[in-house]
A and B are shown apart, each in its own frame.
Chain A
Amino acid sequence: MSTSPDTLPESWRKPPFIANPVLRYALYIGALVYVVFTLATLPIDWARVSDGLSRAQRIFSGAFPPSFDRAGLLFDGFMESLKIAILATVGGIILSVPLAFMAAGNIAPKPIYLLGRAIIIVARSFHPVIVAIIFVKAVGFGPFAGALTLVVYSVGFVAKLLAERIEEIDFGQVEAMRSAGAGFLTTQVYAVVPQVMPRLVGLGIYQLDSNLRASAVVGIVGAGGIGATLANAFGRYDYDFALAITMVIVGVILVSEAVSGVIRKRIT
């Protein structure tokens, strides 16, 4: 059957995201109503908001100009953060690699796969601050708690993404190694590792970056590093010193981001 040219349609519209019009409008209206309802019922006290504004202004005016009088303290805090970040990244990657192989569905047998995934899910399910609180309780204040926290944080991130990369590999190379009679470990090292190596290096660099940032946060709950220094400065109303610390953190993050970007671009 053919259609004559003058009966061909001239207009075309992209099919809607949700095909059923009733469901579509119900969802749109429902979402809108919920947002209005939320705003109407949340206890937002506008008086406190304006109070907060003036308090924020006091903090900022106290913060200017930033004070670098205690640069030594700042430097020590930062070095500690850096140590925490490096230690956590190395430890995290050492744990992540075997875990990622366990959690890759195309490599690991089912029970091991489930175990691997379960460990990753547990490591990912809590924010580092909560993990830090637990570790501070367990091993006491200080950088060790921070390092342990960030190891858990790194495992959750690196192992998950690496496992996903392993699941995406070209399986033909594994087949080739198997057909040559290679053993399990040799097959992994020859056929899988080279394929996932760029991702692993990229993840490692990103994680170092990310751990440096996170170490500032977990420090606030007592896990050492620059975060502890920052929390102390706030506690003593030394807003000018706090601003100096914040500026240095931002500066260091920018530099590390630039460096890691360049490195990741170079590896293919």
Chain B
Amino acid sequence: MLKITNLTKRYGAGDPVLKELNLTVEGEQLTSVIGSSGAGKSTLLRCINRLVEPTSGSVVLNGTEFTTLSRRELRTARRRIGMVFQGFNLIDRLTVMENVQAGRLGYISTWAALSRRYPKDDIRRAFELMERVGIAHYADKRADELSGGERQRVGVVRALMQRPEILLADEPTASLDPKTSEQIMSLLRDLANELNLPVIINIHNVTEAKEFSDRIVGMRYGRIIFDDKPDALTRDEMDQIYAGVPSQDRAEAGAAA
């Protein structure tokens, strides 16, 4: 279970990007976070594994408080959170297998990582997962030879290699064509079920969000203003989430604080 309480993030002296935000995600549900650009969706995900340092508040994953961990503890704790990125963030010049094994870098020794002597179990698991998403035959290919959809599959497998307790996906389909995008979404949904893994997805495509998720969270300028089942997301609600001028809205939020 992931429990976020009173999470605030402020860059510099400006108005906060996240404002006293509360969110709890449990079970194997797939939660989609929607909201216009600048609403703080990316910041929210990155505050969870502290790729972005939260200003205040608490993030607890299955009993571990993340915000107070030391650097060393954080490294170990990050292994428990898988992350999938919009730009895939694969290492283009390395093979698919090396990219997939990169998900294990938090577990294996530096020497094993540098010399590419990956543990047997990891290699077996890599093939298992790659087989599951249909990229096993690419193991020796360079990552930049793959198509967008295939690259994102590598990204997903890399995240799953961590044996994460939760999967965060930051606009995983935004760089993909509509058909590939749907394939990736249904893959994420199926994997969430198969692996009993809660998944949080930032997404711009509301139709896809409604189709694939169990729960939709609507953000507007650092606050959650909608949190319900996909069916409950009405036209009005949508307008609420996507209305407003960013700077104006943020100023109001700042003044309210």
Taking Cβ atoms with an 8 Å cutoff, the residues of A that contact B are: 170, 172-173, 175-183, 185-187, 189-191, 194-195, 197-198
Point out the residues of chain B lying under 8 angstroms from A170, CB to CB: 87, 89
Whose C-beta in chain A lies nearest to the C-beta of B162? Answer: A180
In the complex, the answer to whether A182 meets B105 with C-beta atoms within 8 Å is yes
Taking Cβ atoms with an 8 Å cutoff, the residues of B that contact A are: 49, 51, 75-79, 81-83, 85, 87, 89-94, 98, 102-107, 110, 113-114, 155, 158-159, 162
Report the bound CA distance from A194 to B116 in whole Å. 14
Q: Known: A185-B110, A189-B113, A190-B105. Is A179-B81 also a contact (CB below 8 A)?
A: yes
Point out the residues of chain A lying under 8 angstroms from B82, CB to CB: 179
- Main SS class of interface, A: helix
Report the bound CA distance from A186 to B98 in whole Å. 12
Report the bound CA distance from A171 to B47 in whole Å. 17
Point out the residues of chain B lying under 8 angstroms from A181, CB to CB: 75-79, 105-107, 162
In the complex, the answer to whether B110 meets A180 with C-beta atoms within 8 Å is no
- Candidates B83, B93, B107; contact of A179 at CB < 8 Å: B83
In the complex, the answer to whether A179 meets B75 with C-beta atoms within 8 Å is no
Measured CB to CB, the closest approach of chain A to B202, in angstroms, equals 14
Q: Known: A180-B103, A182-B102, A189-B114. Is A175-B89 also a contact (CB below 8 A)?
A: yes
In the complex, the answer to whether A172 meets B93 with C-beta atoms within 8 Å is no
Point out the residues of chain A lying under 8 angstroms from B81, CB to CB: 179
In the complex, the answer to whether B93 meets A186 with C-beta atoms within 8 Å is no
- Candidates A173, A179, A185, A187; contact of B49 at CB < 8 Å: A179
Report the bound CA distance from A197 to B93 in whole Å. 9
List the 8 closest A-B pairs by CB distance, nearest first.
Answer: A181-B106, A182-B105, A176-B89, A172-B89, A181-B78, A181-B79, A194-B93, A179-B83
CB pairs A–B below 8 angstroms (16 shown) = A170-B87, A176-B85, A176-B102, A176-B155, A177-B102, A179-B49, A179-B81, A181-B76, A181-B77, A181-B107, A182-B105, A182-B113, A183-B106, A186-B105, A190-B94, A190-B113
Report the bound CA distance from A116 to B158 in whole Å. 34
In the complex, the answer to whether A179 meets B87 with C-beta atoms within 8 Å is no
Report the bound CA distance from A182 to B162 in whole Å. 11
Measured CB to CB, the closest approach of chain A to B34, in angstroms, equals 22
Measured CB to CB, the closest approach of chain A to B106, in angstroms, equals 2
Report the bound CA distance from A177 to B98 in whole Å. 12
In the complex, the answer to whether B158 meets A195 with C-beta atoms within 8 Å is no
Point out the residues of chain B lying under 8 angstroms from A185, CB to CB: 110, 114
Measured CB to CB, the closest approach of chain B to A137, in angstroms, equals 41
Q: Known: A179-B81, A181-B76. Is A173-B113 also a contact (CB below 8 A)?
A: no
Report the bound CA distance from A200 to B159 in whole Å. 30
Whose C-beta in chain B lies nearest to the C-beta of A194? Answer: B93
Beyond A180-B162, A195-B92, 11 additional contacts (C-beta under 8 Å) are A170-B87, A175-B89, A176-B83, A178-B51, A180-B79, A180-B104, A181-B78, A183-B106, A186-B110, A190-B94, A195-B93
In the complex, the answer to whether B113 meets A186 with C-beta atoms within 8 Å is yes
Point out the residues of chain A lying under 8 angstroms from B104, CB to CB: 180
Measured CB to CB, the closest approach of chain B to A9, in angstroms, equals 34
Report the bound CA distance from A64 to B138 in whole Å. 63
Point out the residues of chain A lying under 8 angstroms from B78, CB to CB: 178-181
Report the bound CA distance from A197 to B91 in whole Å. 12
In the complex, the answer to whether B89 meets A173 with C-beta atoms within 8 Å is yes
Report the bound CA distance from A157 to B111 in whole Å. 30
Report the bound CA distance from A104 to B94 in whole Å. 22
In the complex, the answer to whether B102 meets A190 with C-beta atoms within 8 Å is yes
Whose C-beta in chain A lies nearest to the C-beta of B93? Answer: A194
Measured CB to CB, the closest approach of chain B to A223, in angstroms, equals 37
Point out the residues of chain B lying under 8 angstroms from A175, CB to CB: 51, 85, 89
Report the bound CA distance from A172 to B175 in whole Å. 14
Q: Specify which of A173, A175, A179, A187 lies most central, judged by the most chain B CB atoms within 10 Å of its CB.
A: A179
Report the bound CA distance from A162 to B165 in whole Å. 38
In the complex, the answer to whether A182 meets B106 with C-beta atoms within 8 Å is yes
Report the bound CA distance from A198 to B92 in whole Å. 12
Report the bound CA distance from A36 to B146 in whole Å. 62
